[in-house]
Structure 1
Amino acid sequence: MKKTVFSHVLLCGVGVALAALSAGAQSLLVINQGDKDMSIVDPATGKQVATVDEGVTDVHVHEVAASSDGKTAWMPIYGSTGVGHAGIDGHEMIVVDLASRKIIGHVDWGHGVRPHDPVFDRKRDLLYVTTELDKAVTVINPKTMKIVGQVPTGQPESHMLALSHDGRLGYTANVGPGTVSVLDMVHRKLITVIPISANTQRISISPNDKWVFTSDQTKPQLAVIDTVTNKVTKWVPLPGKGYGTASTLDGRWLLVAVPHTNQVAVVDLNTMQVVRSIDVPKAPQEILVRPDDKVAYVSCSGAGQVAAIDLTDWKVTQTIDAGRGSDGLAWAK
């Protein structure tokens, strides 16, 4: 693997556009797996204004998280392949200064762990990263960038993580086992493992922490987990096999990416039924609801674009050009 500390930055656009993304400005971050870089998008114009090269050759990043002050991005280098497939196992995470758009450091596990999904806990000022081959979620101090602990998931392929809003509980989607692990993030221990299906993908939690959602990869249905009983209490039929999900911040709607139909399905969380579907570019993956609850961004890997959906009239109002294999999203403010 090429050393990430020597990676370089590729800048796009004119000086005026770059100035718009000075420190403190809001920006949308997009991981482009095919180009091995991260797009920085000005959400006001819907234009990519810069890219940060990951500085690697045979491996790539899938997901990204940003610090609460919008100054830093964390990008785990997963490996050379998809979850559950043979390939090169990533062992490090790069740290990006968003103002200068430079890689300023890295965290190295010292062995292959396939680090994947970074989640920042603002309540405790901790960074969590799923580390599949360790069957754990790694705990990192974001100020020192030191590994300070692990939370065991008890399952392989713990790919994505959702946190309760108080940061006390975590939920991982364990892809190959088709399970969800429930974690005590404070005491760093496994609570239970919930069976879902033969294969499951992605995970999110409702704004009131009552429900956890994960997509069955064997049937076009969404599992709804009751966080009190830690059991699947509802299956929501979908127009195709679902993938990434995100709730609107008012708790009324759940958006579900449906890659094979190139749609986003909208679930009414009062009735747990799909009430509409929205056409988006090819192969939607991840969904990010903007902090003002007015727009949802959807990465579409097959098109190398991000669709912006107006959450009032449920229409795509912008199609943002990013890079090949657009996937992980984060909001930096």
Structure 2
Amino acid sequence: MAANSQAEGTMIELVCSTDTDSGVVTVVERVGQNNYVLRGKIPVGNAPRGSVKFTKDGRGYVSNGAGDTISEIDVISNREIGRIKVGVAPRGVGIVPGDRFALVSNSGSNTVSVVDLSHRREVTQVAVGRDPRHMAISKAGDWAYVSIWGSDYVSKLDIQPLTDPMRADVDTSAQAVREVGRMQVRSDAHPYSTALDPSGELLFVANTQSQYLSIFSTKTDKLHAEVDLGSKGSRGIAFSPDGKVAFVSVEDTSEVVAIDVPSMAITRRIEVGPGPRGIAVSRDGGTLYSSAFSRNSSPVNARQPGARQPSSFNPNTVTVVDLSAPTGTARAVASWSQVDVGKGPCSVAIFYR
């Protein structure tokens, strides 16, 4: 552990940045209120994508988009444990409750892999639409919702066989997974990521080529609402711990939009680093982390006429936002800082130990 890390016996917060261009996962420890110490950079495969997903015992998994594998990593010892072969151009990873299986969306194979984590092997692939991306998995482990970027729908997968205690055989459990529904978004909207609110009753869908955020009811699988973000380019979704606020990164305007979930009204626009994609909210709800994916520091044109663009945001960083800063509907810089990571950070995750 780094010399400046927190005292033994206290919880540590590790910010894990998936850095596509460097081929690493950068691990940074939060020390105190707003001090960050580099713990290490873990080499993984080529072009890692998506946030690191963790099992309860701390194993981390990230997809290698150009290597057709996912990496298992240990963020405490800062090393890659191994790689698991999956389909072509994997993007999103989801851990099925129980930590026995993982799902991997293969954008080049038009499939979702079912991976046996204990034996580090792909068991089967489930056919879906064209170019699947990032996914959400229900807390009960009964459904997975996968963004099908190239076919403008969200695939609903029945994954109950993976958590059924009566199914002891790994292979037959995995091969019973199937697509049971399709939730259509707007034509040419290209859904990129999905996220379930803490109640599990609402599925939020970020569409990269539509200015509308899609929200579906998980009880009916029907469209519940749409939120006009004012610009296309939405990428990542995160929630406050109480589920009352949804945060959506908008790459095209370099901002994170805060949405009041009960009313579906935009309450705040927060400027962040250039080209934000992945975002994450701390366990206490006080801090938001946003990956600045843009390859340069040139400011992105503001959507609002006359709005100020900060000149001090840098690429290859994770923006740290203090969510306790004053709110408002105006586009304004919140209290923030930056943490240097690898090149091309596309996603961010938080690990607690």
SS of the residue aligned with 1:46?
strand
Residue matched to 1:194: 183
Q: Which of 217, 220, 240 is matched with 2:211 structurally?
A: 220
How far does the alpha carbon of each residue in 1:35-61 deviate from its partner, in whole angstroms, 9 at most, with x for none?
12110011222233311122x5xx311
Task: State how 1:31-70 maps to structure 2 within 5 Å.
Answer: 31-44=18-31, 45-54=35-44, 56=45, 59-63=46-50, 64-70=52-58
Residue matched to 1:332: 351
Task: State how 1:145-184 maps to structure 2 within 5 Å.
Answer: 145-150=120-125, 152=126, 154-184=128-158
Deviation at 1:21, TM superposition (A): 10
Q: Which of 235, 247, 253 is matched with 2:226 structurally?
A: 235
Distance change in 2, residues 1:170/1:21 (3 Å): farther
Q: Which of 292, 297, 307 is matched with 1:300 structurally?
A: 292
Distance change in 2, residues 1:233/1:15 (3 Å): closer
In the alignment, is the contact (CA less than 8 A) between 1:179 and 1:195 conserved in 2?
yes
- Distance in 1 (CA, whole Å) between partners of 2:291 and 2:9 is 24
How far does the alpha carbon of each residue in 1:134-171 deviate from its partner, in whole angstroms, 9 at most, with x for none?
43322223232122344x35212111110112121110
Q: Which of 56, 60, 64 is matched with 1:77 structurally?
A: 64
In the alignment, is the contact (CA less than 8 A) between 1:287 and 1:296 conserved in 2?
yes
SS of the residue aligned with 1:43?
strand
Q: Which of 50, 71, 81 is matched with 1:94 structurally?
A: 71
Letter in 1 for 2:254: N
Gapped regions of structure 2 (runs ≥ 5): 162-176, 295-314, 328-333
Does residue 1:317 correspond to 2:341, yes or no? no
Structure 2 length as normaliser, TM-score?
0.79
Residue matched to 1:83: none
- Distance in 2 (CA, whole Å) between partners of 1:234 and 1:182 is 18
Range 213-222 or range 198-207, more displaced: 213-222
- Distance in 1 (CA, whole Å) between partners of 2:247 and 2:6 is 33
Task: State how 1:258-273 maps to structure 2 within 5 Å.
Answer: 258-273=250-265
In the alignment, is the contact (CA less than 8 A) between 2:231 and 2:250 conserved in 1?
yes
SS of the residue aligned with 1:260?
helix
How far does the alpha carbon of each residue in 1:175-199 deviate from its partner, in whole angstroms, 9 at most, with x for none?
1111111111114121111111212
Range 248-257 or range 292-301, more displaced: 292-301
Letter in 1 for 2:348: L
Letter in 2 for 1:283: G
Residue matched to 2:274: 282
Distance change in 2, residues 1:75/1:108 (3 Å): same
Distance change in 2, residues 1:108/1:235 (3 Å): same
- Distance in 2 (CA, whole Å) between partners of 1:20 and 1:100 is 18
SS of the residue aligned with 2:141?
coil
Letter in 2 for 1:324: K
In the alignment, is the contact (CA less than 8 A) between 1:31 and 1:326 conserved in 2?
yes
- Distance in 2 (CA, whole Å) between partners of 1:285 and 1:170 is 21
Deviation at 1:222, TM superposition (A): 0.5
SS of the residue aligned with 2:235?
coil
Structure 1 length as normaliser, TM-score?
0.83
Distance change in 2, residues 1:141/1:40 (3 Å): same
Quote the RMSD (CA, aligned, Å): 2.4
Letter in 1 for 2:143: L
Letter in 2 for 1:204: A
Deviation at 1:269, TM superposition (A): 0.4
Does residue 1:29 correspond to 2:16, yes or no? yes
- Distance in 1 (CA, whole Å) between partners of 2:139 and 2:2 is 39
Q: Which runs of 4 or more aligned residues in structure 1 lie more than 6 Å from their structure 2 counterparts after TM superposition?
A: 18-24
Identical-pair percentage: 20
In the alignment, is the contact (CA less than 8 A) between 2:212 and 2:229 conserved in 1?
yes
Letter in 1 for 2:259: V
Letter in 2 for 1:206: D
